[in-house]
Amino acid sequence: MVQLDNSKIVILGTGGTIAGTAAQAGDNIGYRAAQVGVDQLIRSVASLSSVLGEGNLVTEQVAQVDSKDMGFAIWRELALRCAHWLADRTVKGIVITHGTDTLEETAWFLQSVLQPGKPVVLTCAMRPATALAPDGPQNILDAVTVALDPLAMGVVAVCAGVVHSARDVQKDHPYRLDAFSSGDAGPLGFVEENAVRWVKFDEKATYLSVDRSFFAIESIVDSMPWPRVEIVMNYAGASGAMVDMLVRDGVQGLVAAGTGNGSLHQDLEAALIRAQMAGVKVVRASRCAKGRVLSHSGDRIADSHGLSPVKARVTLMLALLGLHGPQVRSEPVFTGITLPWPWAYPALEVIHIIGIGLLLGNLVLLELRVFGRGSALPVPELARLSLTLVAIGFSLAALSGTVMFATQPGDLLANRTFTLKMLLLFVAGSNAAWFHARQSLDKLDGFARLQMFVSTVIWVAIIVLGRWIAY
């Protein structure tokens, strides 16, 4: 570790192409990433001292990995080290050297959990350190320039002289040096001759105190293992087979990368809704590199609020970890309980159907007797047996239905069919109360028969609406 005193810029190394080496200087593809230590990288930046002025550096090797292999353990350690240095009053900002493949995910993860008031700048390279003209040294210099800028704050990414916000940055080219963009949101600024020209600031970003950053980090450190969240993609001929398999395998969250405005093949959408009803958290993003999904009140799967699929996955994982920072709390899709076993929701559906069968079957049996069928059966004895089974059936249906509702309350409350079903349940309950209050079983008059007929019709309608919601 290289360390000097006074106000500091901290450079954390994690590997990547910027730390890569190749057997031949002209080879910009067949290199091995994550071979050069961060101290050696810094020594290759000849003009760094002129940018730093009287400031000093701290370098620390947090990881040494090709970023395609980035994992939760490194994210956890990186967040801890960032939180540690952010709490140091002599630290002006942090620079992180990172691979390009997953830089945008790491940036969004750190912004979501740290939301730092100081700058945390991720930088990278598209050529290895041994290239004839490596781009890493200039990117490091630019990143330090941004970290020293008095207007800089929060997590940003710097590549090829362009400053991107953590929310919008995305890798959009596999080879060229300027491999990142901010989509139609546009960059935050540009680094020009060791100075930052800001063109805008991230109005959506939220910044926390150091104490709150540590609280967020503790939520992550204490969580083992992290929740499993997978991404599925929509395409021509997409099916729900992968979703069904993931649900059986215990997945806890799913992000659907939809086409266009988050649209989904009908088979894939049906599978995602089944997963949602089984307690899996589901969110819908778009494959498009620009724009965002525009939601509609009738959508059965919530959208990602402008996040790309990979960043929506990060946010969903953090929500499932119980991290309720402003970035996470703003996503309404992360509501409702999660059932602990993949078979739990199907089991509840079985109980629900059994309850409905007992309820409706015995109501129909009693109604047939009231209308003159099976006249040999005494009405009082049949009523006692049938209504007891009706009560048991109603209890099973109500209990299982309440638990299923708790897995997705937001989606159901926004569903007009569900609202109509609840209204009919109220009408059915009111009719039953009236039926018993006027002692209709003892009278068995025309009005009693009408009440029983209406009750049966209402319960059939409730069943139809329930199946409509499910499928």
Q: Which residue is listed with tokens 């929500």?
A: 319
Least confident of 151-160, 255-264, 440-449: 440-449
Contact 255, 331 (CB under 8 A): no
Alpha-carbon span 348 to 342, nearest angstrom: 11
Does the pLDDT of residue 112 top 80, yes or no?
yes
3-state secondary structure 326-340: HHHHCCCCCCCCCCC
Beta-sheet pairing, 162-165 with 189-191: antiparallel
Q: Report angle CA 104, 108, 112 to the nearest 5 degrees.
A: 175
How does residue 5 score in pLDDT terms, banded at 50, 70 and 90? very low
Contact 160, 177 (CB under 8 A): yes
How does residue 383 score in pLDDT terms, banded at 50, 70 and 90? confident
Q: Which residue is listed with tokens 């939180």?
A: 83
| CA neighbor of 320 nearest in space, from 246, 220, 218, 412 | 220
Q: Which residue is listed with tokens 């620079």?
A: 95
Does the pLDDT of residue 273 top 60, yes or no?
yes
Alpha-carbon span 9 to 92, nearest angstrom: 6
Contacts of residue 467, Cβ cutoff 8 Å, sequence gap at least 6? none
Does the pLDDT of residue 253 top 60, yes or no?
yes
Cα atoms in the 13 Å half-sphere on the side-chain side of 172: 15
Across the range 89-113, mean pLDDT stands at: 96
**For the chain, how many helices (H) and strands (E)?**
16, 13
| CA neighbor of 262 nearest in space, from 297, 293, 301 | 293
Across the range 261-269, mean pLDDT stands at: 95
Q: How is residue 333 written in tokens? A: 């899709």
Across the range 163-178, mean pLDDT stands at: 97
Q: What are phi and psi of 354, to 5 degrees?
A: -60, -45
Contacts of residue 216, Cβ cutoff 8 Å, sequence gap at least 6? 113, 114, 115, 208, 323, 325
Q: How is residue 165 written in tokens? A: 């916000």
Q: What per-residue confidence (pLDDT) applies to 205?
A: 65
Beta strands of 212-323 (E only): which ranges?
Answer: 229-233, 253-258, 281-286
Q: What per-residue confidence (pLDDT) applies to 217?
A: 66
By percentage, how much of the chain surpasses pLDDT 70?
88
To 10 degrees, the CA torsion angle through 42, 47, 48, 51?
-170
Does the pLDDT of residue 157 top 50, yes or no?
yes
Q: What per-residue confidence (pLDDT) applies to 293?
A: 92
Beta-sheet pairing, 154-159 with 119-123: parallel
By percentage, how much of the chain surpasses pLDDT 90?
61
Catalytic entry in 14, 17, 100, 130: 17
Alpha-carbon span 442 to 180, nearest angstrom: 79
Q: What per-residue confidence (pLDDT) applies to 339?
A: 60
Q: What per-residue confidence (pLDDT) applies to 330?
A: 36
Alpha-carbon span 220 to 47, nearest angstrom: 38
How does residue 335 score in pLDDT terms, banded at 50, 70 and 90? very low
Average pLDDT of the chain, as a whole number: 87
Report residue 307 CA to chain centroid gap.
Answer: 9
Contacts of residue 227, Cβ cutoff 8 Å, sequence gap at least 6? 252, 253, 317, 320, 321
Q: What per-residue confidence (pLDDT) applies to 92?
A: 95
Instruction: Please return the burial class of 245, using the count of CB atoms within 10 Å of its CB with bins 0-12, 13-18 and 19+.
Output: exposed
Least confident of 59-63, 146-150, 227-231, 443-447: 443-447
How does residue 438 score in pLDDT terms, banded at 50, 70 and 90? confident
| CA neighbor of 440 nearest in space, from 455, 425, 420 | 455
Does the pLDDT of residue 3 top 50, yes or no?
no
Query: Among this protein's residues, is 130 annotated catalytic?
Result: no
Contact 412, 466 (CB under 8 A): no
Does the pLDDT of residue 166 top 90, yes or no?
yes
| CA neighbor of 74 nearest in space, from 86, 64, 84 | 64
Does the pLDDT of residue 311 top 50, yes or no?
yes
In angstroms, what CA-CA distances link 371 with 376, 430, 441, 448, 451? 13, 22, 12, 10, 12
Across the range 247-269, mean pLDDT stands at: 95
Instruction: Please return the burial class of 175, using the count of CB atoms within 10 Å of its CB with bins 0-12, 13-18 and 19+.
Output: exposed
Across the range 415-429, mean pLDDT stands at: 89
- Write down how long the chain is: 471
Q: Which residue is listed with tokens 């079985």?
A: 350
Q: How is residue 335 written in tokens? A: 């509501």
Contact 153, 207 (CB under 8 A): yes
Across the range 271-300, mean pLDDT stands at: 89
Alpha-carbon span 28 to 128, nearest angstrom: 6
Does the pLDDT of residue 242 top 90, yes or no?
yes
Q: What per-residue confidence (pLDDT) applies to 294?
A: 92
Q: What per-residue confidence (pLDDT) applies to 331?
A: 39
How does residue 4 score in pLDDT terms, banded at 50, 70 and 90? very low
Across the range 424-429, mean pLDDT stands at: 91
Which has the higher per-residue pLDDT, 438 or 229?
Answer: 229
**For residue 364, what is the enclosing H or E element?**
helix 344-370
Q: What per-residue confidence (pLDDT) applies to 142?
A: 98
How does residue 221 score in pLDDT terms, banded at 50, 70 and 90? low
Q: Give the tens place of pLDDT for each residue, 390-421.
A: 899 999 999 998 888 887 776 677 678 888 99
**For residue 444, what is the enclosing H or E element?**
none
Q: What per-residue confidence (pLDDT) applies to 219?
A: 62
| CA neighbor of 433 nearest in space, from 458, 409, 410, 455 | 455
